[in-house]
Structure 1
Amino acid sequence: MPRWVFGVRPVLELLRANPRGVDQLLLPPGKWSGTIREIETLARQAKIHMRPAETAEFERLSQHGHHQHVAARVAEFSYADFEERLDAWQASQPRPDLLVLDGVQDPQNLGSLIRTAEAFGTGGVVLPKDGVAPVSDTVTRVSSGATEWLPICRVTNLVRAMEALKKAGWWIIGASPDADLSLYDEDLSGSTAFVLGAEEKGLRRLVREACDRLVSLPRLGRVESLNVAVAGGIVLAESHRQKRTAKASGHGRSAE
């Protein structure tokens, strides 16, 4: 079923990544400049049907959401095949970090995590088919279009997928506020799959047990835990920092 994607940056990334997936583009009436002009140019090159639309139509289609007077109609989001992506990740040098999300149901958090993962060069995101927010217009908008660049897989059995990653050589690190080991004391210099849990309940028991190690994010304040999107950003940033340090020094799991 076709869906609408709204916003200047998400639509621009759609056209850059997969213009064939766009069959209609709505733009504000009048002369275009800046990024909207770039969107128009890409759409014209891809021979996408464009037409002007008034504010009322954008409001109706977006259900009064954030639209920035730009909208693209695209096919239903296509998830990547996990087995195919696993082969591709294994063939990459160096092997990328991965993000595994257990029950993240808030589309704002999911979009933020996907945006952060893409920014730090993460190889992809693995989601369970049930109990998680789907990749929707909101997710694409919040991700600033990163959903169009980053492979996102859905699997029937998340624990089984984690075991496959482990067998393929990834170190599986789960984030949990009650873990004794600090994130900053763990060696993240090699290929790592980070597992983050639901906003309220955290990691499910079987998912926790499938992790090689559980780490916590040290806090100085009184708040018991961090928002999952914030936690994901901290984890991926620390992993990126350690990998750069290991590469420069020639030490760490990435250098083995």
Structure 2
Amino acid sequence: MAGNDPKRPGLRKTNKKGAVKGTGGHARRSLRGKGPTPKAEDREYHAAYKRKKERERRDRGRHVKEEQNELVVGRNPVIECLHARVPATAMYIVEGTGNDNRLSEAVQIAHSRSIPLIEVPRHEMDRMTGNGLHQGIGLQIPPFKYAEVFDLIAKVNDSGEKGMIVVLDNITDPRNLGAVIRSVAAFGGQGVVIPERRSASVTAVAWRTSAGTAARLPVAKATNITRTLKEFQQNGYQVVGLDAGGEHTLDTYDGRGPVVIVVGSEGKGISRLVRETCDTIMSIPMTGWVESLNASVAAGVVLSEFARQRRAAK
């Protein structure tokens, strides 16, 4: 049957009002619930999602050597670790080892802290240490548990304090690392960040130098220091790099706000990309004929001054 539309003869016009057809169920489907709210770590713009991705990125780096238990040997080093309250999982004693005051003290402290004592043959201790210079005693220390950078930032934000973090670049001496950890703890800082590669780690040497403060102060590892500094900047931190040729000096810098102090090695200083990421390059005023300070000393001087400024502001 022909239609009555002159332009489209096959179409018949009608004056009927309302919908001629149904919606095909589209409206009914749009009324259905969308299910439970996704977890925070599954929401792309949530901080928990970033922390999850950072953990996954670290887990994928299987080419990085897995950290293992460390065995501290020698009577004096073992006693130093025990006095620094380094967490130990066992103490090994060679069968038939001659007793003296140091060995007796080490055994007594181990007993008081419920550290298991294990007697082993001399050849077994030689095998464990790779040589015979162990003096008949060894203290087993588990791998240090590092914090996540995102967790460190979140913890400082939750505390309501003005963050003061030290980031180490090109620091390979564990004694420097331990001394910096101790200074950060002493002057009210909240944590230390180190690179995942080409950097000193929290070993028994760092533990002893930190005088046990590594047990209470978070130390985080970062896969990329430049990206980590940008993350701090996005969270309101000023990033200050220490360098002898800095355009600002410690005497004039206001360190009362959230701040990240970047410390490089005495020889190399901070790397180029890290330097370019810093908001400020700052120098420490000192006698002209002294070229530079040890990294841990420089960090301690700046931390002390910033802590003084914050006390004065209260």
Shorter-chain-normalised TM-score: which range? 0.7 to 0.9
Matched, 1:107 2:178: no
**CA distance in 1: counterparts of 2:162 and 2:112, whole angstroms:** 32
The corresponding residue for 1:24 is 90
The corresponding residue for 1:118 is 185
Task: Give the 5 Å matches for 1:126-205.
Answer: 126-205=193-272
**CA distance in 2: counterparts of 1:203 and 1:217, whole angstroms:** 15
Matched, 1:50 2:132: no
Of the three residues 68, 80, 83, the one matched with 2:147 is: 80
Query: What's the CA shift for 1:245?
Result: 0.6
Secondary structure (helix, strand or coil) at the match of 1:184 reads: coil
The corresponding residue for 1:252 is none
1:25 alignment partner AA: M
The corresponding residue for 2:22 is none
The corresponding residue for 1:250 is none
Describe the superposition over 1:126-159 as per-residue Cα deviations: whole angstroms up to 9, x where unpaired: 1111221122221112222222221111111101
1:194 alignment partner AA: I
**CA distance in 2: counterparts of 1:186 and 1:194, whole angstroms:** 12
**CA distance in 1: counterparts of 2:71 and 2:173, whole angstroms:** 19
The structure showing larger relative contact order (alpha-carbon pairs under 8 Å, at least 6 residues apart) is: 1
Query: What's the CA shift for 1:36?
Result: 6.1
Query: What's the CA shift for 1:161?
Result: 0.6
Structure-2 change in CA distance of 1:61 and 1:165 (3 Å) = same
Query: What's the CA shift for 1:78?
Result: 2.0
| Contact 1:8/1:68, CA 8 A, preserved across alignment | no
- TM-score (ref. length: structure 1): 0.78
**CA distance in 2: counterparts of 1:64 and 1:86, whole angstroms:** 45
Structure 2 residues without counterparts, runs of 5 or longer: 1-67
Describe the superposition over 1:146-176 as per-residue Cα deviations: whole angstroms up to 9, x where unpaired: 2222111111110111111111111211111
**CA distance in 1: counterparts of 2:257 and 2:135, whole angstroms:** 41
**CA distance in 1: counterparts of 2:130 and 2:188, whole angstroms:** 31
| Contact 1:189/1:242, CA 8 A, preserved across alignment | yes
- TM-score (ref. length: structure 2): 0.65
Structure 1 residues without counterparts, runs of 5 or longer: 248-256
Of the three residues 92, 109, 116, the one matched with 1:39 is: 109
Query: What's the CA shift for 1:40?
Result: 4.0
Describe the superposition over 1:59-85 as per-residue Cα deviations: whole angstroms up to 9, x where unpaired: x969899x9998631212221122222
1:231 alignment partner AA: A
The corresponding residue for 1:222 is 289
**CA distance in 2: counterparts of 1:119 and 1:200, whole angstroms:** 26
Of the three residues 96, 101, 106, the one matched with 2:163 is: 96
**CA distance in 1: counterparts of 2:190 and 2:80, whole angstroms:** 21
**CA distance in 1: counterparts of 2:69 and 2:161, whole angstroms:** 37
Structure-2 change in CA distance of 1:95 and 1:207 (3 Å) = same
Query: What's the CA shift for 1:14?
Result: 3.6
Secondary structure (helix, strand or coil) at the match of 1:215 reads: strand
Structure-2 change in CA distance of 1:183 and 1:140 (3 Å) = same
Describe the superposition over 1:27-64 as per-residue Cα deviations: whole angstroms up to 9, x where unpaired: 895789xx9698346413xxx313689xxx8xx96989
Give 1 or 2 for the bigger CA radius of gyration. 2
Of the three residues 259, 280, 286, the one matched with 1:213 is: 280
| Contact 2:164/2:189, CA 8 A, preserved across alignment | yes
Matched, 1:246 2:281: no
The corresponding residue for 2:7 is none
